[in-house]
Structure 1
Amino acid sequence: MARELNTVVDALWANPMLWIPISAMAGVQLFKFIYEWIREGDFDLHVLVRTGGMPSSHSAMVTSLATAVGLREGLDSALFAVSTVFALIVMYDARGVRQESGKQARVVNQIVRELFSGQPISEQELKELLGHTPTEVIVGAILGFVYTLLVLPYFAGGR
C-alpha cells in the first residue's frame, strides 16, 4: 500500500502539466501581493487568496494549462481542444459572471446601508470585488502563455 502511494505521489510531483499552471497562478497572486504591499504599504496576506485584480491569476493558470497541453499533445489533439474550451469558459466567467456579481453586491450593500442608516446591522457586507475587467483577463492570459513557453522546455520531454 505504501509503495503504491509513493508511486502516485511521485507521479504527481513529476507532472509539469499540473505544476506549471499552478505555479503560473501562484506567481501572479504573489505579484499582486507584492504590488499591493508596495502600493498601499499594507502587508496583507489575504491578497494571496483574494479574487479579482490585475492580472487575473485564473486566466494565467488556464491559459498556461492549454498552452502546455498544446505543446505537449499537439494543437490538433482532443486534449488541447478540451483544455482550450475549459480556459475560455473560465476566462468568460472571470470577466462576465463574477464581475456582474460584484456589481450586484455593490448595489445590495448600498441599499442595506441606506435602509439601515443609523441602526446596527449584524449582517456582513457582500464581497464586491469578485471578477475581472477584460484587460485583467487578457493580461493574465498573456502571462500564462509566455510563462509556459519559457518554463516548459526545462522539463524532460517538455515539447
Structure 2
Amino acid sequence: MTLLHTALSWNFVLVTALCASLLAQLIKVLLNLFTFHRFIAERIWGAGGMPSSHSATVCAMVVATGRYCGVSSSQFAIAAVLSIIVMYDAMGVRYETGEQAKLLNRMFSEWVDQGAASFPFLGGKKLKEMVGHTPIEVLTGAVLGIALGFAMPMV
C-alpha cells in the first residue's frame, strides 16, 4: 500500500483537500516561474494568484465529502456552505483588501517621492497586495479541486 493510499484510508476527505491545496500552490509556483522567469518562494505559501488554493481546497473537500458521506449527508451540506463562503470571501473582501493595499502603497510612495513626511511606522515595508482572487482565479481553483476530488481513489 502506498503512502497516499494509507493517508486516504486514514481520512479521505482531509487528505483529498490537503492534496488539492498543495497542488494549487505548486501550480502557482510553476506559473510564476514561467511568467517571471524566476522562482518566487512566497508563492509556495502565499495567498492570492492563479489558481485559488482556497477554492481548490474547499471544492475538493466538498466532492470528497459527497463521495465519502453521500450528497444527502449533513457533512456534505456543511462542506458545501463553507466552500461558498470561502470562495465568496476570496473574491470579495480579500480581493478588495488587495486593491486597497495597492492604492495605499502607491499613495505612500508618491508622498515620499514628493518630499513629504516619511512613514516610520511602516518601517519601509509595503502592504501585501496579493491577498484575494479574481473570479477566474477562483473558478480555476474550483475546477482543479473538483477534478482532484473525483480523481482521488476511494480506499
When the two structures are superposed, what TM-score results if normalisation uses the length of structure 1?
0.84
The reply to whether residue 61 of structure 1 matches residue 57 of structure 2 is yes
> Which runs of no fewer than 5 residues in structure 1 stay unpaired?
1-9
* CA distance in 1: counterparts of 2:138 and 2:42, whole angstroms: 21
The reply to whether residue 104 of structure 1 matches residue 105 of structure 2 is no
* CA distance in 2: counterparts of 1:45 and 1:102, whole angstroms: 19
The reply to whether residue 131 of structure 1 matches residue 132 of structure 2 is yes
Name the SS for the 2:71 alignment partner.
coil
Deviation at 1:38, TM superposition (A): 2.2
* CA distance in 2: counterparts of 1:115 and 1:33, whole angstroms: 34
2:8·2:16 contact (CA, 8 Å) conserved in 1?
no
**Aligned amino acid, residue 62 of structure 2:** A
Deviation at 1:116, TM superposition (A): 2.3
**Aligned amino acid, residue 140 of structure 2:** V
Map 1:48-127 to 2 at 5 A: 48-117=44-113, 118=115, 120-122=118-120, 123=122, 124-127=125-128
* CA distance in 2: counterparts of 1:43 and 1:13, whole angstroms: 35
> Which runs of no fewer than 5 residues in structure 2 stay unpaired?
1-5
**Sequence identity of aligned pairs in percent?**
38
Q: How many residue pairs were aligned?
A: 145
* CA distance in 1: counterparts of 2:100 and 2:41, whole angstroms: 26
User: What is aligned with 2:3?
Assistant: none
User: What is aligned with 1:142?
Assistant: 143
User: What is aligned with 1:47?
Assistant: 43
Name the Cα RMSD after superposition: 1.9
Deviation at 1:44, TM superposition (A): 2.2
Q: 1:82 to 1:12 in 2, by over 3 A?
A: same
**Aligned amino acid, residue 50 of structure 1:** G
When the two structures are superposed, what TM-score results if normalisation uses the length of structure 2?
0.86
**Aligned amino acid, residue 142 of structure 1:** V
Task: State the Cα deviation string for residues 85-133 of structure 1 (Å, max 9, x = none).
Answer: 0000000011100000011111211221222224654421111111000
Deviation at 1:56, TM superposition (A): 0.5
